[in-house]
Chain A
């Protein structure tokens, strides 16, 4: 009980600035289409991201059909197989996960959780979404241009990305690069908003060390993205110039299919450095919001404070910082100077330490908790299990000599799907089950949710755990067909069939989730303002769903950290962040009296006065 983080001494300074006036639209279009409300923008982001993610899910199903049953389907050939691989990867990493975590959860949760009325630049926030949508449409357009989308792999390595012999080397790659550039422009508008909102628009009493870890995760991820995406942006521009104007940034003198091309002096490895300088932080851009959200899910549903809050914050900062000095571990076999291997192997394995600490603290939060196995909690625990597996296999690939035999094989595919596909997606699901009641006012169906969890959790493990062993065997990734070799046994093909069947089941079962989302919107059990009895501010709003402006007449003031669960002596097993000291925490029935909680008055201090008044 020595930590300052849960200190009840009410440090609540007066407000420093006048509250901004929000533009309240009257028409349907203003409210839901050209909306400046972060919550509506969040839903727009989420629906778009999930929609495009479904396309990528179908693509992965087609890839699995080919790998499980090679040559059984005439519509899959070596050319479009690579296009499916490429589009699946890029959509999932950038257009689904990045957009959903930052544009979706970031927009919804940051203002609510820090006690702000909206993002600080609502108009820019709106534009951010529309630019994102434009980027998505550009990307989808590449399915319909001559030659189809690029098939150069999601890493888009030149020279092959812009040379014949790779599908989509004319139109597809340019659309991909331009779409990425627009995505980054859109993201930058949103990202600046998230960072400034967290830094400048926290309500009174919400010190940085009282922020819920969800906000910390999204905040740090956004900073990483703002620093990392420019590297991708410039490489996209440079490759576009190489392709269209014949510059040679990434193109050395080469002879493509017997033709001497007019390139000279460029470096393909330069592109790889730029790509991974973005690409590795990108892993954490997806992972850190997941880390933050899952911390809150575990704390709420275990009715226990997150274990070692301060260490968790420092771990997020350490991981974020280190993530910029590990990128070349993706390039151990790229042909870069081999002495880099010593440095990058060391930094990469060091990053395991703060990451491991986070895992320990999640598990230690469960320890001596009072665990409600709600659907969000199931997904959170599923995440921890999956993430432990995926994180540990990262220690294989991060350690340079171990990476040599495994790089380029199915081991890599298994590893990164486990760690940055399944793990974050499990958190996404958990988060949706957790916050859906706040977003819609209704609970998601519990039975369908549990079914969704069990099939998704066990199914994905069945897909990816055995896949590592195909990698040990030496089965390369991005192979349309393995064909005959002297060392891959027949049984490996049976394993591939089993993986495909598991993948198809997991993919198909997502329909249940979508059905649940839609059905519950109309027929779900009414949720009330705070169904999980959580402490953070988004659950203390006067209205559910929260209205534009979030908090009614007066912004809440914050008196404590976000994790006052099961405080000895308290009346309830949670104390909301805006509960002034001295008062006993209220029960749920009283909490329904929203005006009291949402418009929390300051004891003694009176209503906050704007500066200068």
Chain B
């Protein structure tokens, strides 16, 4: 009796949950309505079977429960009934499969007028490459991949010279135009998906895979990696902004071509020395940092990282949060660097300064910090030396008190929440693994041992 009632309640509850719960598909933002329609058909067919078979079972449990002295009906088989059930099931299967196969045929057939561009995945970020004026993506090969050429573009291929390189996880797309994404991975398996687009495909090193869709409404969406790709898999995310064509073109033209990025002249340290004079007040003459003025050590830090942060401060991607007191002080300083060349110059100068390890100031139990550092090591390296390929700055020998401050800033959303700071966003996911201030101190104390 109880079992029959429970079965009925489970059926009713499941159906109610389906209709009443707030968790379901996000509103679609692409042309793949046919996928959603197939899902709806599948729900009707499977829902019908779920309800009917289970209610019938509940009925049987109730109606044919044990009664003393009663015999069960003896009927080994009933071919007609079984055949009828097979036929009905076949009809249901065809009803789901047929629209599914039609939807799939459209899914894999890219329209001729689709705009082609490339998504490149690496642990643990997405980058993008658009063909330049020639409309052709230059050839690539893993052997060309380096910190200076992260996309692995063939330097001798003329069609690659005008490719526009988006070294950022944020992608913009024009509204209403079909796009074909050619998907590529530098290292391991990855995946590119935006839940609202319904489309998704893995990236496989050694192969180029593809997926296509047409964005049907404007907005900013989260993109994800949904193929396990290592420790920071859960933090491998990007943004996709769908906008009008003109805004898209403006965004695209703000990025350099491959030729331009190659031609970037190295910074002029002599010119940078003059610019750095302003910085010495806080950072010290040797850029050794000054805890009492909240200025971290800069000497020895990777140039690409210094450039990124100076740009972040200058462009308002950092140092704008109201609780980021010292970041807000830094922002106007960075603003004195008038252009990218100035940034290059000052960074070039910092590079010439002697790299002495910063003094240890943090009290923590380094032993307890060793375990959580495994996570940090995935990007920053086991020795804390920093890895450009994973966008992770050097930690060892840098100002430890500054790391504590920044980890707390990441934890409390003071840093890394600005939409234009995608790598900072990744750090917010990571800093969250430190459950309290003690854990943060312990971790940094461990980093202090990496010398």
Q: Which A residues lie at the B interface, using CB under 8 A?
A: 1, 3, 5-6, 70-75, 77-80, 82, 151-153, 157, 159-160, 163-167, 252-258, 260, 265-269, 302-305, 307-311, 333-335, 338-339, 341-342, 345-346, 349-350, 352-353, 356-357, 359-361, 363-364, 366-373, 378, 381, 384-385, 388-389, 392-393, 395-396, 399-402, 404-405, 407-409, 458, 461, 465-466, 469-470, 472-474, 476-487, 489, 491-492, 495, 563, 565-568, 573
Contacts and interface: CB of A to CB of B under 8 A. Distances in A.
B104 A258 contact: no
Contact of B26 (A82, A311, A474): A474
Given A6-B76, A252-B142, A305-B76, A402 B195 contact: no
B195 A473 contact: yes
Contact of A163 (B105, B188, B203, B434): B188
Contacts of A393: 46
Interface string B224-239: 1111111111110000
30 contacts: A3-B76, A77-B375, A77-B433, A78-B378, A79-B231, A82-B231, A82-B233, A157-B227, A159-B205, A160-B228, A165-B123, A165-B232, A252-B205, A260-B145, A269-B207, A307-B75, A335-B203, A356-B85, A363-B53, A363-B56, A366-B60, A370-B64, A384-B57, A396-B39, A401-B38, A401-B107, A405-B25, A405-B195, A405-B198, A474-B195
A78 B379 CA distance: 13
Contacts of B60: 363, 366-367, 369, 371
A487 B219 CA distance: 12
B435 A71 contact: yes
B189 interface: yes
Nearest to A350: B93
Contacts of A368: 64, 72-73, 75
Contacts of A477: 226
A592 B31 CA distance: 71
Given A260-B142, A366-B60, A389-B50, A487 B195 contact: yes
Contacts of A71: 432-433, 435
A310 B82 CA distance: 11
Nearest to A82: B231
B286 interface: no
Contacts of A568: 71, 74
B163 to A, nearest CB: 19
B228 A157 contact: yes
Given A3-B77, A334-B202, A469 B21 contact: yes
Contacts of B222: 485-487
B187 A257 contact: yes
A255 B142 contact: yes
Interface stretch (B165-173, B251-259, B343-351, B384-392): B384-392
B232 to A, nearest CB: 7
Nearest to A476: B226
A474 B197 CA distance: 11
A165 B387 CA distance: 12
Contacts of A356: 49, 85, 89
B374 interface: yes
B362 to A, nearest CB: 18
Contacts of A359: 53
A165 B230 contact: yes
Of the candidates A258, A458, A465, the one having the most CB atoms from chain B within 10 angstroms of its own CB is A258
Contacts of A361: 82
Contacts of B207: 252, 269, 335
A385 B57 contact: yes
Of the candidates A333, A481, A573, the one having the most CB atoms from chain B within 10 angstroms of its own CB is A333
A204 to B, nearest CB: 23
Interface stretch (B6-14, B265-273, B395-403): B6-14
A125 to B, nearest CB: 35
Contacts of B228: 82, 152-153, 157, 160, 478
Contacts of B234: 78, 476, 478-483
A383 B222 CA distance: 38
A268 B205 contact: yes
Of the candidates A302, A339, A470, A492, the one having the most CB atoms from chain B within 10 angstroms of its own CB is A302
A5 B74 CA distance: 13
Given A253-B206, A473-B195, A160 B188 contact: yes
Nearest to B206: A252
B26 A408 contact: no
Nearest 7 A/B pairs, CB to CB: A252-B206, A474-B195, A408-B226, A258-B389, A368-B73, A335-B209, A165-B230
Contact of A255 (B35, B187, B227): B187
Given A3-B77, A357-B89, A254 B97 contact: no
Contacts of B201: 333, 335
A371 B65 contact: yes
Nearest to A561: B76
Contact of B53 (A268, A302, A360, A486): A360
B81 interface: yes
Contacts of B54: 385, 388
Contacts of B77: 3, 307-311
Nearest to A473: B23
Contact of B82 (A1, A311, A334, A363): A311
B183 interface: yes
Contact of B17 (A305, A308, A465): A465
B35 A479 contact: no
B327 interface: no
B35 A404 contact: yes
B424 interface: no
Given A79-B231, A366-B60, A401 B189 contact: no
A181 to B, nearest CB: 23
Nearest to B430: A78
A536 to B, nearest CB: 16
Nearest to A565: B72
B250 interface: no
Nearest to A461: B10
B428 interface: yes
B435 A72 contact: yes
A70 B432 contact: yes
Given A82-B231, A356-B49, A487-B221, 15 more contacts: A74-B372, A74-B436, A157-B227, A160-B230, A334-B204, A360-B85, A371-B61, A385-B57, A401-B34, A474-B25, A476-B226, A478-B234, A479-B233, A485-B222, A486-B222
B226 A373 contact: no
Given A363-B53, A370-B72, A163 B187 contact: yes
A479 B124 CA distance: 13
A392 B50 contact: yes
A565 B85 CA distance: 24
B22 A489 contact: yes
A307 B22 CA distance: 41
B214 to A, nearest CB: 15
B74 A305 contact: yes
A211 B411 CA distance: 63
B230 A483 contact: no
